[in-house]
Amino acid sequence: FCLFVFCFCFKVRGPPVAGAFKERPTKPTAFRKFYERGDFPIALEHDTKGNKIAWKVEIEKLDYHYYLPLFFDGLTEMTFPYEFFARQGIHDMLEHGGNKILPVVPQLIIPIKNALSLRNRQVICITLKVLQHLVVSADMVGEALVPYYRQILPVLNIFKNMNVNSGDGIDYSQQKRENIGDLIQETLEAFERYGGETAYINIKYMIPTYQSC
C-alpha cells in the first residue's frame, strides 16, 4: 500500500529532452562581412523569373580557393539577399568550375558541416541540393568527399526519417523538393553513385539504415 501511494505521489519522469531536432542559433558569417564590404564580384539583377546574378569578373578567372569556401560559408544565411547570393553564386561557380573545384573540396567541409549542424529545415534542404550539385560538378569530386563522410553525414542520420505521414493526402513538399527525408535519400544515392567503390560501405557505416540504390 505504501509503495502504491509512493508511486502515485511521485511520478517517475523520463530523461530530459536532448534537443537533437532543436535549431541552433546562427552566428554572423564571413560571407556576410565580405559581402557588405563589397569584396564579391557580383551584382543583383531582377528579371522576369525572379533574380539573377551578374558577375563583374568572369568566373573562370576567379580564385576558387578564396571565393568558393566563402560562398559555402554563406549557406548558413537565411535572409535575403545573402541567402540568394550564396546559393546562386555556388551554383554558378560549380557549373563553370571544371577542374578548379577538386583541389578546393577539403576547404568546403567545415562550412558544409556548419550549415547542416544548424538543423534548420530550409538550410538543410539548400545544403543537400548543393551537395548533389557538387558531386556531379567535376570528375573525382564525389570520391574526394568520401573521407569526409564522418563529418557531414551524422546530422543526416537524425533527419533521415523526417517524412510526413499524411495518409492518402498529397505532400506538396515532395514536388517542390523540400521534403527532407526524400532529399537525404537522393543525396546519399548521389554520393554512392559518384563516390567510387568505397562510397557505399562508408555511407552505411555512418547511416546504418541506408539501402543501396
Partner 1 sequence: KKSEISGVMAKAGIKPKSICHAKKWSDEIENLYRFQQAGYRDEVEYKQVKQVDTVECWAETGFVKKLQRRDNTFYYYNKQRECEDREVHKVKVYMY
Q: What's the rounded Cα separation, in Å, for the pair 185 and 180? A: 9
Q: How many CA within 13 A on the CB side of residue 63?
A: 5
Residue 25: name the closest of 107, 117, 125 by CA: 117
Nearer of residues 62 and 156 to partner 1, judged by Cβ: 62
The span of 4-12, 16-24, 42-50, 153-161 binding partner 1 (CB under 8 A) equals 42-50
Contact with partner 1 (CB under 8 A): which of 3, 12, 54, 170?
54
The span of 2-10, 29-37, 56-64, 167-175 binding partner 1 (CB under 8 A) equals 56-64
> With binding defined as CB under 8 A, does residue 136 bind partner 1?
no
Angle between helices 105-117 and 64-73 (to 10 degrees): 10
> With binding defined as CB under 8 A, does residue 52 bind partner 1?
yes
Nearer of residues 52 and 160 to partner 1, judged by Cβ: 52
Please, which of residues 60-119 interact with partner 1 by CB under 8 A?
A: 92, 95-96
Q: What's the rounded Cα separation, in Å, for the pair 152 and 166? A: 29
Region for residue 156 given its phi and psi (left: phi exceeds 0; alpha: psi -120 to 50; beta: otherwise): alpha
- C-alpha cell read off for 28: 554572423
Q: What's the min distance (Å) between Cβ of 136 and partner 1? A: 11
User: Which residues contact partner 1 by CB under 8 A?
Assistant: 43, 47-49, 52-59, 92, 95-96
